[in-house]
Chains A and B, each alone.
Chain A
């Protein structure tokens, strides 16, 4: 437990000695996996690939910005917290980094049911970066190189696999150094053809102060590989000097008294409960709207047609779409010792002098000073329907994409994809088949499936409403859902696996103990006099049944039956949740099984749907050709598919499978077995 907290981080200054700033310093010129980009996706990808056992190289423009929080200083939230817990369950970095760097922890939606609790924390930017950098630098098989990638090396495909191209490595910008690799993971974030907007000024860049990625990379993706590329936009607010803000005019927003760690491996956070910092709440005034309207002609970002997110709009979009009302502004700390505040809700792109005028219309900010102005950024993304569920580009063997390059937004979404792309990139390099993660077992699966089978029209953010099995995919049980699987895939350490096995056994034993406590409701009433039970007298109820009552806690039962239940006190909350949700999860099981069996029926990627000799309407053929679903399950979720088309495709898949197994004999049988492996998992507690 909490091994992370006892680990000593290497001092940041020493970082430069552990990494290479020139490719010629690298010990090798060939890696299994190269990860391009050091943001949330890139760091998770590199760490995961190395954990799996691949010799991995992380290439980033600036080593010091590895693990930087480019936008908001926070992690988690509703839906996003689910992703952090899942990344942690697969031994990723962001959960533990959050526990290390958090300075204000709160579980959102506390009153709305455990399935939708959203663990969240404000972060100390410095500490977050420190943790990520230290973690990467102490990861075996992982090297970090500072440099800019000029282009991808593309060669002829391996004829045994689908795809028209194969990625062979990268060429660096300076010195045209070549480094070869079996897999390359691109996590370019907002840097792919990135341009920054402030007022009417437009300058190339992926983040203020950082150059965009090389145009050669864009060229490779668009022209050489022929990928469909779109454009999205986002923005960030100005950073304010804390001293210049009149906090007495704001509403204080305290953290949870007892911080809840993100990581399953941590029992407490680095920040002590009492050391946590508050957030502050204030509101916009009519003056803000006036300034926005007066400066519209000076604000070219808002006039652009690239799609921005609807749920994290700039202050300009907010007052224009919902005029005449007052909007919330959260003032968030940037770190324990930082003298800056982050005004969440005030993302803006007008000229800096107008930004100052605008914020000063808000009473607590009437004398505020801006440290760094807000700005907008537009960037290229690759339409993610061109990816397989392993996040590999379908037409290019070995090329994986993760994060904003796939049209998503958010640190957590990026981290989740990064981890998954890293796992698969490494597996490919080590000649292992791609790993599958179903939308029935994880939010990561929902995210990946939504991206690759439906694509995006605006920056994609995770919502719990996207998960159809929300009651099964809870933040509390991410370890039970994913850690064993991650261990089999090789991305989970033995320590974590051991802990997850211990937890699973304990929970199973505790549930068995609760079920063994079966007696009539009359007897229960005698044991627990305070409980109102409407059961009929002779009905036998188990401890699990009792736990479903709103006013019955595990602690209460344990106090009545200490000998059988006391050993499980550390799991009291999880047991209560299991008891309440079990009936609903059981109800989902048969449906989950059905979806999983369809997800396991893969559709060949090289089918020509227009000439396929299966009875399909022209309309259906066009849909299939456009989205190229990788599995029968994905095909059923496409808009416009008909039951008859699915039945005919189903028949086709089975027929092809049989023919293949007849031709290649035993080998195909083995593959079929492997393919069915995920089917054995259940989203609820393994029995």
Chain B
């Protein structure tokens, strides 16, 4: 038996497969165990787990993106993501509609919706197309929302074409390139997966996979070798603990994995600094409108001023905060407290410094700035590496020669966050600053369009969610039916195996015989 018998090595590494073994068990917001607690009957409704979706337009920046859905749950997806009442739209007719998250009901985008009932569709199955705006945030949001609909999973490489072929929709000559297409896509995905796998994340997944394999081996040993044959005590107790730990860890990981959420809700960028450094001016410059009141009076900004921006296609939530200083004013004190809180929660802090307070000797500037950072931010406010940009404002007030020397000097020294010299007054240096800011934001979101990591991430997320749900199935059936409980662990390993590689029955048997003395 192969837990993912029909999964193939190349694709398994990257979680993309020629054929899917996925049995979607849960949705993002309704964990299986909660639904199971209503009587264990929910699984009945999930019989057909075979609906696929994918971004079908090319990767890379584009005005309009097409997301395609195919399979029996396509109509369900359409109903729960597009406000249509209970009716399906007329077939093959474009409608302009709001597309919403099925759980939060949040509007993700407004776009064209098309309904192609079977058999009159590309794949011959019920199909839906969403034509949405091409921004990465929108695409990710829609793909993630689709992944949360029961019975849906990201499509495997070439799967739409393959289904079309199976349904007799394509001629052999048309499908000529299918093998090459799948090859190219899986190659790209494999490289992608390898990149991700070599890092810390890869090690984490491998560790889970390893532990899950052992756990499954122990359950299988307990099932396949009767009390007469398997002498070891407490095998299942160990399994219970492992399943519990794994479930908690993966759930935690899913929660902590903020990149996708950043893409949806925006990267939190906080402007902080001493009073009168020009924080609100920076906000207004970035917003290209007077969102915050600007005055020469220190302490003008007392509360947090927020503004949503699009920086290079990525959503950013920019917050201007009160200048950090000890003030006797109660209102200002509260403003400073809020500012510090924001800095702690920020994905990225823009620390604005009035460049005119820097020492005139350029060599001393770095030490001065480090000291300035220390005094301004208490130890727990210190933003982590890569999460802070130093913005030296008011450079129009510096002599040009000094400005250039300062720039060179600050680039030379290490130990400082990246430094940008700008003038909100003259917009000098603003272009360079925006480039730096954009690349930071991009790193934080992950670039969803290079080599399709959005898809990969959506895929990983889907597999991990299935894994967690399947582990819940183990716990649900643990005492009543161990065969069904074991099915949960098998499913969990299959789901994880789609990220880390397939696991065959022989491998499980090897672990059994290594760990246990078996024989009557």
Contact = CB atoms under 8 A, between A and B. Distances in A.
5 contacts: A78-B223, A330-B228, A463-B509, A468-B2, A471-B483
Given A78-B225, A330-B228, A590-B49, 7 more contacts: A78-B226, A313-B519, A328-B229, A471-B483, A534-B39, A591-B21, A643-B182
B10 interface: yes
Contact of B10 (A533, A580, A642): A642
Interface stretch (A52-60, A130-138, A644-652): A644-652
Contacts of B37: 534
Contact of B223 (A116, A322, A591): A116
A446 interface: yes
B19 interface: yes
B5 interface: yes
Contacts of B513: 310-311
Interface string A552-580: 00000000000000000000000000001
Interface in A345-396: 345
Nearest to B504: A639
Contact of B44 (A322, A325, A550, A586): A586
A430 B487 CA distance: 42
Nearest to A549: B39
Interface string A40-62: 00000000000000000000000
Contacts of A464: 220, 223-224, 483
B70 interface: no
A114 B483 contact: yes
Interface in B224-265: 224-229, 231
Contact of B172 (A111, A322, A642, A651): A651
Given A322-B517, A651-B175, A465 B41 contact: no
B3 A468 contact: yes
A591 B18 contact: no
A522 to B, nearest CB: 14
Contacts of A471: 483-484, 487
B183 A644 contact: yes
Contact of A595 (B6, B222, B520): B6
B8 A642 contact: yes
A465 B46 contact: no
Interface string A628-655: 0000000011011111111110010011
A590 B50 contact: yes
Contacts of A446: 1
Interface of B: 1-3, 5-6, 8-11, 17-19, 21, 23, 37-41, 43-44, 46-50, 156-158, 162, 172, 175-176, 178-180, 182-183, 186, 220, 222-229, 231, 477, 480-487, 490, 504-505, 508-509, 513, 517-520
A583 B8 contact: no
A468 B1 contact: yes
A643 B11 contact: yes
A313 B505 CA distance: 20
Contacts of B508: 465
Contacts of B162: 647
Contact of A643 (B8, B49, B231, B487): B8
A467 B483 CA distance: 12
A224 interface: no
A644 B179 contact: yes
A591 B23 contact: yes
Interface string A465-476: 111101100000
A116 B485 CA distance: 12
A345 B520 contact: yes
B220 A583 contact: no
A619 to B, nearest CB: 11
Contacts of B175: 651
A639 B220 CA distance: 22
Interface string A288-327: 0000000000000000000000111100001001100101
A575 to B, nearest CB: 16
A537 interface: no
A77 B519 CA distance: 13
Contacts of B486: 470
A594 interface: yes
B471 to A, nearest CB: 16
Contacts, number: 196
B8 A109 contact: no
B505 A113 contact: no
Contact of B517 (A115, A325, A466, A584): A325
Contacts of B485: 113
Interface string A655-671: 10010000000000000
Contact of A312 (B23, B182, B509, B519): B519
B44 A582 contact: yes
Contact of A318 (B8, B11, B158, B517): B517
3 tightest A-B contacts by CB?
A643-B18, A113-B483, A113-B481
Nearest to B22: A591
Interface in A457-491: 463-468, 470-471
Interface in A574-608: 580-584, 586-591, 594-595, 598
A321 B487 contact: no
A615 B5 contact: no
Residue from B3, B41, B482, B513 whose CB has the most chain A CB atoms within 10 Å: B41
B460 to A, nearest CB: 19
Contact of B9 (A113, A536, A639): A639
A109 B38 CA distance: 28
Nearest to B175: A651
Nearest to B481: A113
A532 to B, nearest CB: 10
Contacts of A654: 172
Given A311-B513, A470-B487, A584-B484, A109 B226 contact: yes
Q: Which of B157, B180, B487 has the most CB of A within 10 A?
A: B487
B223 A109 contact: yes
A654 to B, nearest CB: 7
> Counting chain B CB atoms within 10 Å of each CB, which of A470, A541, A545, A589 scores highest?
A470
A112 B158 contact: no
B41 A112 contact: no
Contact of B228 (A313, A325, A328, A580): A328
A598 B23 CA distance: 19
Contacts of A4: none
B180 A644 contact: yes
B483 A470 contact: yes
A414 to B, nearest CB: 19
Contacts of B5: 468, 595, 636-637
B18 A112 contact: no
Contact of B484 (A113, A318, A586, A590): A113
Interface in A326-341: 327-328, 330
Which residue among B6, B477, B490 has the maximum number of chain A CB atoms within 10 Å of its CB?
Answer: B6
A321 B509 contact: no
Contact of B231 (A108, A313, A328, A645): A328
Nearest to A332: B520
Nearest to B224: A463
A345 B519 contact: yes
Contacts of B39: 533-535, 541, 545, 548-549
Nearest to A310: B513
A380 B518 CA distance: 25
A650 to B, nearest CB: 8
A344 interface: yes
Contacts of A541: 39
Interface in A492-539: 533-536
A489 to B, nearest CB: 25
Contacts of B487: 470-471, 584
Given A113-B484, A643-B186, A587 B47 contact: yes
B387 to A, nearest CB: 40
Contacts of B482: 111-113, 116
Contact of B47 (A345, A534, A586): A586
Contacts of A639: 9, 504
Contacts of A615: 179-180
A118 B226 contact: yes
